[in-house]
Amino acid sequence: MTSDESPSGAPQRATPPHGGTPPHGGTHPQGDTPPHGDTPTGSHHAGRAGERSVAAAFALSMAAALGLAVVYWRGGQPQLEGTFLALALGGLGVGLALWARYFMPHEDVEEARKPIASTEEEIELFREEFEQGERILTRRKLLVRLAGGSLATLGAALLFPIRSLGPRPGKGFKSTPYRQGLRLVTSDGRPIKAADVAVDNVLTVFPEGHVDEGDTPTLLIRPSGTNRPRPGREQWTPDGLIAYSKLCTHVGCPVGLYQAGEHLLLCPCHQSTFAVLDGAKPLFGPAARSLPQLPLRIDAKGYVVAAGDFSGPPGPGFWDRDRP
pLDDT digits (tens, 9 = 90+) for 274-311: 999 999 999 999 999 999 999 999 999 999 999 999 99
Rounded Cα–Cα distance for residues 85 and 61 (Å): 9
Core vs surface per residue 156-187: b (16+ CB within 10 A) or e: ebeebeeeeeeeeeeeeebebbbeeebbbbee
- Domain extent, residue 49, equals 41-106+118-165
- Percent of the chain whose predicted confidence (pLDDT) is above 90: 51
Domain count, the chain: 2
The interaxial angle of helices 78-103 and 41-73, nearest 10 deg, is: 160
> How many C-beta atoms surround the C-beta of residue 230 within 10 A?
14
- Which pLDDT value is given to residue 269? 93
The reply to whether 142 and 218 lie within a common domain is no
User: Which residue among 149, 165, 181 closes a domain?
Assistant: 165
More confident residue, 234 or 101: 234
pLDDT in tens, 205-216: 999 999 999 999
Helix H or strand E segment including 304? strand 304-306
The reply to whether 84 and 58 lie within a common domain is yes
Rounded Cα–Cα distance for residues 205 and 183 (Å): 10
Rounded Cα–Cα distance for residues 193 and 47 (Å): 84
Asked, for residue 159, whether it belongs to a domain, the answer is yes
Q: What share of the chain is helix, strand, coil (3-state, %, to 5)?
A: 35, 15, 50
The DSSP secondary structure of 201-220, one letter per residue, reads -EEEEEETT-TT-TT--EEE
Residues 181 and 299 sit within 8 Å (Cβ to Cβ): yes
Residues 260 and 224 sit within 8 Å (Cβ to Cβ): yes
More confident residue, 36 or 160: 160
Rounded Cα–Cα distance for residues 69 and 201 (Å): 54
The reply to whether 148 and 184 lie within a common domain is no
The reply to whether 82 and 214 lie within a common domain is no
136 pLDDT above the threshold of 60: no
Helix H or strand E segment including 259? strand 257-259
Q: Distances from the Cα of 106 to the Cαs of 60, 85, 96, 100, 212, in angstroms?
A: 26, 31, 15, 9, 64
pLDDT in tens, 60-79: 999 999 998 898 888 888 89
The reply to whether 157 and 240 lie within a common domain is no
pLDDT, mean over the chain: 82
Q: Which DSSP category does 253 fall into?
A: -
Q: Which has the closest alpha carbon to 213: 248, 266, 173?
A: 173
Asked, for residue 1, whether it belongs to a domain, the answer is no
The reply to whether 198 and 253 lie within a common domain is yes
21 pLDDT above the threshold of 70: no
Q: Who contacts 265 (Cβ-Cβ below 8 Å, separation ≥6)?
A: 219, 244, 255, 257, 258, 259, 273, 274, 276, 280, 291
CATH (domain of 270): 2.102.10.10
Asked, for residue 5, whether it belongs to a domain, the answer is no
pLDDT in tens, 45-56: 667 888 889 899
Rounded Cα–Cα distance for residues 214 and 198 (Å): 26
Asked, for residue 268, whether it belongs to a domain, the answer is yes
The reply to whether 83 and 213 lie within a common domain is no
Rounded Cα–Cα distance for residues 184 and 221 (Å): 13
Q: How confident is the model at residue 36 (pLDDT cuts 50, 70, 90)?
A: very low
* H and E: helices and strands count for the chain: 4, 10
Asked, for residue 71, whether it belongs to a domain, the answer is yes
Segment among 88-92, 138-142, 199-203 with least mean pLDDT = 138-142
